[in-house]
Amino acid sequence: MTMVLCSQCQQRQAFYKIEGHPLCIPCYQQYQQAENLDFCRDAALMNNLLAMFGAQTGIQMPRMQIPQPTIGVGQVNQHNVNVDRSVVGAINTGRIEKLKVALSDIQQGGDSATADVMAQFASAVLSANDADNAVKNELLEHLDCLSEQLAKSPTERSPSVMKTVLGGIKRVATTVASLTKLYDVFEEHLDF
């Protein structure tokens, strides 16, 4: 089975088909946003026409509800942990989401460098072609546990737990050739 690329960006696998055009998730999201804007514009026009009709005839007609877009307030921290060319179903995606939340907590705690190094290492784990899914899941479990500890305030952390988890990461990561050098950088950055 061949992978169908998005007809718009030609970079990602297509998951949706709109009027015969295959779209990836980001391009589909842009399409949905454009459709929503068209609907809002049409609804506003219809409401205007109904108001003019009501002013001329004295008959008030119900107006269409126009959905308001959700606009984020404040700083948004996003750490991308990418799953590329992996069997996503075999990797615990809930753990990946939990890891992303912990990385954001670490960054908000003032240690963005550690969050960045952990995100890079997690992405490398997920894209390691020389590691099977069991190894990837084990490393993600360790990273999840370590990130939970690092997200806590320094007085609430358990150094012995963090050292044990880091030892588990080292034991597994050093068996994967593509992760060995990156693990050394990862370990040097962590100081506890």
Instruction: Return the beta strands (E) in the chain as ranges.
Output: 16-18, 21-23
Exposed, middle or buried: residue 139 (CB in 10 Å: 0-12, 13-18, 19+)? Answer: buried
Question: What type of residue sits at position 42?
Answer: D
pLDDT of residue 188: 84
> Are 97 and 78 within 8 A, CB to CB?
no
Q: Which long-range contacts (CB under 8 A, 24 or more apart) does 136-140 make?
A: 136/86, 136/91, 137/90, 137/91, 137/92, 137/95, 138/168, 138/172, 139/169, 139/172, 139/173, 139/179, 140/91, 140/92, 140/95, 140/96, 140/99
pLDDT of residue 45: 92
Q: Model-level pTM?
A: 0.53
What CA–CA distance (Å, rounded) separates 32 from 36? 6
Q: Which long-range contacts (CB under 8 A, 24 or more apart) does 74-78 make?
A: 77/104, 77/107, 77/108, 78/104
pLDDT of residue 92: 59
> Are 27 and 9 within 8 A, CB to CB?
yes
Q: Which residues contact 139 (CB under 8 A, 6 or more apart)?
A: 125, 131, 169, 172, 173, 179
pLDDT of residue 86: 46
What tens-digit pLDDT sequence spans the chain (192 residues)?
A: 577 888 888 877 887 888 888 888 888 888 888 888 888 899 999 999 999 998 899 888 888 888 776 555 454 444 455 555 544 445 556 677 778 888 888 888 888 888 888 888 888 888 888 888 888 888 888 988 898 888 888 888 888 999 999 999 999 988 888 888 888 888 887 766
pLDDT of residue 46: 92
Of 116, 122, 124, nearest to 177 (Cα)? Answer: 124
pLDDT of residue 89: 46
Question: What type of residue sits at position 82?
Answer: N
